């Protein structure tokens, strides 16, 4: 028997979904966004629909000090709008308890979960926050996001689907979300010049990210939590580094589940390696640090992995081989 607690968040999606903002009422409204979007066309467009005070949000990987600062700055607001990627969206979850509208500009999927991640002492740690009351998925919100970042965040969403599928916590419901989300993302991410494909990627991200409400993620996500903040690896790029090797490491126990999304005769880890190269997203840990530095954090990596949803536990030798392989 399975039980699902379904989210109550309202989702407004599709081209021109942003126009819904004109119906939002509030005595005092804040719009939190990233520094890179402070002079953007999308911000200007939103401010033409709703009267809001603009606040610069948390930096990459959501440092806990930035979250604490945001908590103070958001006091007294009735409504907060988050415009940006995972750092902004997570930051608001952890700092505001009022009516929250999330407008993602990437495919990271943070808007679809209750938990928010903040970096404490160099490691990304998650806790339950205030989930969004409304999410606006309008592909126009992604148009000013650098393409490399949008692709990397799409790979992160693919990572959500893959790790949900073989998670120890997987269920028939999460499997269905993961399979359909994966198929949409792999199709749409190849051509982001199409506004229709961007909208499709938002749907794929929605499906794959919902799985994180119910299933703990595995090695690939844990790699990002440990090595992303430590070596300033952009969010999403960590998945571009780790996902093929993660699938390979788990393949002996996850093979049957992964057949749902594999091409016949091609193991998923081989396909994923080629896929990342095809879309220009293949990255290495060596671009960000030395091997000696990376290996210093193996024990922390093991501890987090072995308390996650990964289908297998790892020892010191397995962890070292993994880091050497992604390096």
- Can you give the pLDDT at residue 119? 79
Per residue in 133-177, pLDDT tens?
999 999 999 999 999 999 999 999 999 999 999 999 999 999 999
Q: Which domains, and CATH codes, for the chain?
A: 10-142 (3.40.50.1970), 147-326 (1.20.1090.10)
List of long-range contacts for 16-21, beta carbons under 8 Å, 24+ apart? 16/138, 16/140, 17/136, 17/137, 17/138, 18/45, 18/46, 18/49, 18/103, 18/136, 18/138, 18/140, 18/141, 19/49, 20/136, 21/46, 21/49, 21/50, 21/81, 21/101, 21/136
**pTM for the predicted model, two decimal places:** 0.94
Per residue in 94-147, pLDDT tens?
989 999 999 999 999 999 998 777 777 777 777 788 899 999 999 999 999 999
- Can you give the pLDDT at residue 127? 79
- Can you give the pLDDT at residue 249? 98
Confidence of residue 12 (pLDDT cuts 50, 70, 90): very high
CA angle 296, 301, 305 (to 5 degrees): 165
Q: Is 20 exposed, middle or buried (0-12, 13-18, 19+ CB in 10 A)?
A: middle
Per residue in 276-285, pLDDT tens?
999 999 999 9
């Amino acid at each position: 028997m399975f039980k699902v607690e379904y989210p109550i968040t309202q989702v407004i999606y599709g081209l021109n979904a942003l126009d819904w903002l004109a119906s939002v009422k509030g005595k005092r409204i804040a719009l939190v966004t990233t520094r890179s979007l402070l002079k953007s066309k999308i911000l200007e467009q939103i401010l033409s629909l709703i009267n809001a005070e603009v606040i610069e949000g948390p930096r990459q990987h959501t440092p806990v000090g930035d979250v604490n600062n945001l908590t103070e700055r958001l006091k007294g607001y009735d409504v907060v709008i988050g415009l940006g990627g995972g750092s902004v969206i997570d930051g608001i979850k952890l700092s505001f308890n009022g009516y929250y509208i999330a407008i993602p500009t990437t495919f990271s999927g943070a808007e679809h979960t209750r938990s928010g991640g903040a970096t404490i002492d160099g490691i990304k740690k998650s806790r339950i926050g205030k989930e969004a009351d409304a999410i606006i998925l309008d592909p126009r919100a992604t148009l000013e996001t650098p393409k490399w970042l949008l692709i990397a965040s799409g790979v992160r969403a693919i990572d959500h689907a893959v790790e949900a599928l073989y998670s120890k916590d997987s269920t028939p419901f999460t499997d269905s979300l993961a399979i359909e989300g994966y198929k949409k993302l792999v199709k749409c991410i190849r051509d982001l010049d199409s506004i229709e494909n961007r909208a499709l990627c938002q749907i794929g991200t929605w499906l794959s990210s919902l799985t994180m409400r119910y299933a703990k993620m595995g090695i690939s996500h844990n790699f990002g939590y440990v090595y992303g903040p430590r070596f300033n690896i952009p969010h999403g790029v960590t998945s571009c580094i780790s996902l093929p090797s993660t699938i390979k490491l788990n393949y002996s126990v996850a093979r049957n589940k992964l057949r749902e999304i594999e091409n016949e005769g091609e193991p998923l880890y081989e396909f994923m390696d080629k896929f990342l190269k095809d879309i220009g997203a293949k990255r290495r840990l060596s671009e960000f640090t030395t091997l000696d530095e990376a290996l210093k954090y193996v024990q922390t990596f093991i501890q987090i992995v072995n308390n996650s949803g990964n289908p297998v536990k790892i020892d010191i030798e397995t962890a070292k081989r993994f880091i050497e392989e992604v390096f």
